[in-house]
Every structure is written in C-alpha cells, then in structure tokens.
C-alpha cells in the first residue's frame, strides 16, 4: 500500500481530532469522578501540613 502525503494529512485531520476529543473526555471524567474528590482534597491540603519528615 502506498502511503502518500494526502493520506497522512487526511488521517491526521480526522483521527487526530477524534483521539483528541476522546482524550479530553477521559480527563474530564477523571477530574470530576465523585470518588476522586476526597483524594484530591487530601492532596491539596496535605502539602500544607507542618509534619515535614520522610517515612522510613
């Protein structure tokens, strides 16, 4: 099969768009998934903790 310039451009312009939309949907779902809320809240607060020591 011959892959010429136009084939690549066509592929990039169609499937490139779809994978991009698919990816952004995944990111939005991850960010707003209810079960993740507590994890995110803990993460943003825990860096302010004064307890500044590594675990052993």
Closest CB to other proteins among residues 2, 55: 55
Q: Does 39 bind other proteins (CB under 8 A)?
A: yes
Our CB check for other proteins shows the closer of 4 and 52 to be: 52
- 8-44 burial, b at 16+ Cβ within 10 Å, e below that, comes to eeeeeeeeeeeeeeeeeeeeeeeeeeeeeeeeeeeee
> Least separation, in Å, of the C-beta of 18 and other proteins?
14
With binding defined as CB under 8 A, does residue 15 bind other proteins?
Answer: no
């Amino acid at each position: 099969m011959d892959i010429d310039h136009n084939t690549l451009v066509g592929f990039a312009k169609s499937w490139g768009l779809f994978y991009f939309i698919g990816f952004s949907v995944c990111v939005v779902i991850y960010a707003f998934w209810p079960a993740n809320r507590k994890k995110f809240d803990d993460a943003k607060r825990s860096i302010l903790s004064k307890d500044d020591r590594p675990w052993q």
